[in-house]
Structure 1
Amino acid sequence: MNIAATTAHHPTFLSGASSDAFAKHPGYRRMFAPDRLTIGIFLPLRFYRGDMSVLEGQADLVTEIDRRGFAAVWVRDVPLFDPNFGDAGQLFDPFTYLSYLAARTDKVALATGSAVFSLRHPIDLAKAATTIDRLSGGRLVLGIASGDRPVEFPAYGLDMDGRGERFAETVAYFRQLIAPGRPVIRSSLGTIEGVDFLPKPAIGRIPLIITGSSRQSPSWVAEHADGWLTYPQPTHIPEGPKRLAQNILSWRNQIPGAGFRPHMTNEWLDLVDDPDFPRTPLRGGFVLRTGRKGLIDLLGEWQEAGVNHAALGMQFAERPASDIIQELAEEVLPLFPSLEGPAPLPVKW
């Protein structure tokens, strides 16, 4: 890796930041606080089976998610559909779609889970991210990853084996671009001097949430992540959240200065009508079928484990998405309410 950049004014922009750096960030503060767990909804709400009509009405439901008071909506980044992988993801470009959702919502945080940083140039990533951040009044939370779909890298003309190094270099380049002042960057990804990058973020910086290891060492993730998103351990038994707690503690013990940085996880739910239906794994543990009491127990176990935000997906559920959203809003969300942070900045564009 070879990157050099001016850091005299903002040296921490190359590293992760504690919650103090995001004290005025509407998206971050709506989602994250120590010893608290909030709830977000993962899109798409229905699984793609060859027909784009599954997304009809989704934005209306996102407006309802915002009105009901959920902390965040999450979109996925899947540039190419690989039938062998079996999951087309969100279908829409995540940045374009978040811009559309920003205009349809008022308070909910807008999160990517996760933007594949290794596939794109940091200038393009930063331009899209800061645009959405400005259009939403500071509600963007950027989950990022190194990518795991082998068909995508040759399509971009990239070597998949080098995605870890490219990811780390892209993170550094991205942070320097969006920092105050004119960046000076010398990197294998490009050279910048004598020009500026616009727009800058609405509130100083954009949270970068590292997904899994993203092909980095644990110490790198601890130093550079503004937060950490990991897949859950088994969710149908209490032992899973206990294992997750050990992973979270190990990560937090390596964070420089021991400042608070949030942890997130997610689960695909098949939430059934019967509130007492036990937690039951489906699809090899990829989906959890449960009634709301089992879900409430799981969320409580996650909160005790140190999880600060749970992103819940329902694309594999049998019930209508609108019914599940209503039940979550009325029966679950009051137990894990979104946080009262600063209001989004006025959007006058």
Structure 2
Amino acid sequence: MTRVFPEGQLVYGMQLPIQSQSTIYAEAWEAAATPHDLAEIARTADRTGFAYIAGCDHVAIPRRLAEAMGTVWYDPVATLGFLAGITRRVRLMSHVAVLGLRHPLLTAKQYATLDHLSGGRLILGVGAGHVPEEFEAVGADFPGRGSVLNESIDALRSALGPDEYPEHHSELYDFEGLAQLPRPAQRQVPVWVGGSSPAAVRRAAERADGWLPQGDPRDRLPAQIARLRALREAAGVTDPIEIGAITEPLYVGEPGRPVGRRTLTGKPDAIADSLREYAAMGVDQIQVRFRSRSRTELTDQMAAFAADVAPHLNQ
């Protein structure tokens, strides 16, 4: 297992807007946004010190969920591949790839190529999925998706490793003697597990390089982190694990309009002081999201956060 970011430093990244437009979090301007807007946001993240940018994974949204989830979900490999070519430093994360929808060798081919082309910037975030119709449409096992995910992670450890002929033998997946080039630029691609259910926390503890909780409020995180660490110790895993958190929505400065009661607003040092509470809980990286009315306001907020808030995160 491998660590991505320096130990003892709170870093910040973001899930990209536009590429997923769930009604839970999408801003109104995203509906008319273009690939140019997405590219400018990625360039801003790259230029201003964001640790990663992330894209989501859904194959198809059923009508019964369309109102809540929206139907705009870009393919993460295509999206991150596009952005890899116009950025130089920022890490590229799938948040999260639903492994049960694809055979591990297919997943390995896609993400190994992405890592190779980006110069080793991939973080493979993975999850079990929650939409049964997606699984049914592609002939995948929805009821057994937890076991499938466990075996897929194990298979990908080999398939994304350094060997030209990866080998793996398990109940679901059995392969050897099959070459896959190019190999990832990283000797071992970091695998971060997403989810906050008891099964997801156990999976992260036993199999992952990082944990991506899905919206746990601040008051729940300490207990979740303690359970994660206890499960990891019980499993005999001694490698460090990078722990994440999704923060409240942010607005640097005074917005002058309603931005939601949970949004953190105000002076940069006050926002930084609040976000440092995550580090005190044992969090290594925070995923931030900004309230905005346009792409320009968003990139201005990103730049203000990087210039005025980020320098205070590790004081």
TM-score tier, shorter chain, comes to 0.7 to 0.9
Q: Normalised by the size of structure 2, how large is the TM-score?
A: 0.83
CA distance in 2, matches of 1:40, 1:148: 24
- Indicate the SS of the match to 2:69: coil
For residue 13 of structure 1, what is the aligned residue in structure 2?
A: none
**Is the 1:146–1:214 contact (alpha carbons within 8 Å) kept by the matching residues of 2?**
no
Residue 66 in structure 1 maps to residue 66 in structure 2: no
Residue 336 in structure 1 maps to residue 313 in structure 2: yes
Residue 120 in structure 1 maps to residue 105 in structure 2: no
Deviations 1:86-105 (A, max 9, x none): 22476221001111111110
Deviations 1:51-83 (A, max 9, x none): 853244121121111111111111111222345
- How is 1:250-289 mapped onto 2 (pairs within 5 angstroms)? 250-255=227-232, 256-267=236-247, 269=249, 271=251, 273-274=253-254, 281=261, 288-289=262-263
CA distance in 2, matches of 1:197, 1:72: 26
Structure with greater contact order relative to length (CA < 8 Å, sep ≥ 6): 1
CA distance in 1, matches of 2:159, 2:180: 6
For residue 32 of structure 2, what is the aligned residue in structure 1?
A: 53
Change (3 A) 1:260 1:193: closer
Deviations 1:120-170 (A, max 9, x none): 111111111111111111110111000012321111222311111111111
Give the letter for the 2:241 counterpart. R
Give the letter for the 1:124 counterpart. L
For residue 157 of structure 2, what is the aligned residue in structure 1?
A: 175
Gap regions ≥5 residues in structure 1:
1-16, 23-27, 282-287, 338-349
For residue 215 of structure 1, report the CA deviation from its aligned partner.
7.4
For residue 280 of structure 2, what is the aligned residue in structure 1?
A: 304
Runs (4+) of structure 1 moved beyond 6 Å?
Answer: 48-51, 275-279
State the identity as a percent.
30
CA distance in 2, matches of 1:137, 1:89: 32
Give the letter for the 2:43 counterpart. T
Change (3 A) 1:230 1:277: farther
Instruction: Choose which of 114, 124, 128 in structure 2 pairs with 1:142.
Output: 124
CA distance in 2, matches of 1:105, 1:111: 13
- Indicate the SS of the match to 1:113: strand
Deviations 1:175-233 (A, max 9, x none): 12222333333445443232222222212111110112577375443221111111343
For residue 270 of structure 1, report the CA deviation from its aligned partner.
5.0
For residue 247 of structure 1, report the CA deviation from its aligned partner.
1.6
CA distance in 2, matches of 1:257, 1:170: 19
Give the letter for the 1:121 counterpart. H
For residue 79 of structure 1, what is the aligned residue in structure 2?
A: 59
CA distance in 1, matches of 2:282, 2:244: 9
Residue 40 in structure 1 maps to residue 13 in structure 2: yes
CA distance in 2, matches of 1:58, 1:264: 24
- Indicate the SS of the match to 1:174: helix
- Indicate the SS of the match to 2:123: strand
What is the aligned residue count? 297
Residue 97 in structure 1 maps to residue 79 in structure 2: yes
Give the letter for the 1:303 counterpart. A
- Indicate the SS of the match to 2:119: coil
Give the letter for the 1:212 counterpart. G
